[in-house]
């Protein structure tokens, strides 16, 4: 089975974003402390937003946070396999407090997400990833629904159907 069948994920950009979670083998789950990583974020707004996202994503997914590579906080896990034979594990949804913005992974799937993104507030979508300058710029209830939708899509639709 293709990782992102065309009938399930018509937006190639979303596949590219999820690929960021799987990029090379360096983006593996690690035993590093999520709290220590977030506490070390230099930008005070991104640090605070990181802790807010930690609580929000943990609560919605019911999954514990785990570091994926040195900079991605992920929730849940799924196994992927490409037609080429390459396979591995990746986080279902996640985020990274980057210097320029918060990068949110796994939240831009399908037509439901497109409608929600229209109501989210100030954001950018690039290569399928969702970029937010700060959480105060967006509607947190809409973000919560995007997290629910993305998590469900990756864990139920793509990898159990």
For residues 29 and 91, what is the distance between their CA atoms, to the nearest angstrom?
8
Task: Give tens-digit pLDDT for 34-70.
Answer: 999 999 999 999 999 999 999 999 999 999 999 999 9
For residues 47 and 32, what is the distance between their CA atoms, to the nearest angstrom?
17
Residue 85: exposed, middle, or buried by beta-carbon count in 10 A (0-12, 13-18, 19+)? exposed
Report yes or no: 109 and 150 within 8 Å, Cβ to Cβ.
yes
Question: If we measure between CA atoms, which residue out of 7, 1, 15, 17 comes closest to residue 95?
Answer: 17
pLDDT in tens, the chain (161 residues): 334 333 333 344 445 455 555 544 557 999 999 999 999 999 999 999 999 999 999 999 999 999 999 999 999 998 888 889 888 888 999 999 999 999 999 999 877 999 999 999 999 998 779 999 999 999 999 999 999 999 998 888 766 54
């Amino acid at each position: 089975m293709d990782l992102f069948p065309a009938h399930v994920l018509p937006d190639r950009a979303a596949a590219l974003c999820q690929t960021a979670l799987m990029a090379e083998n360096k983006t593996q789950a690690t035993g590093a402390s999520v709290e220590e990583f977030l506490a070390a974020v230099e930008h005070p707004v991104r640090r605070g937003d990181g802790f807010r996202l930690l609580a929000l994503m943990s609560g919605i997914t019911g999954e514990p946070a785990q570091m994926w590579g040195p900079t991605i906080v992920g929730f849940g896990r799924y196994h992927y396999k490409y037609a080429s034979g390459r396979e591995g594990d990746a986080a279902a949804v996640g985020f990274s407090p980057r210097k320029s913005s918060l990068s949110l992974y796994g939240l831009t799937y399908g037509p439901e997400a497109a409608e929600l993104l229209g109501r989210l507030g100030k954001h950018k979508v690039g290569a399928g990833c969702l970029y937010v300058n700060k959480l105060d710029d967006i509607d947190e209830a809409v973000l919560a629904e995007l997290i629910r939708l993305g998590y469900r899509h990756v864990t139920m639709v793509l990898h159990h159907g």
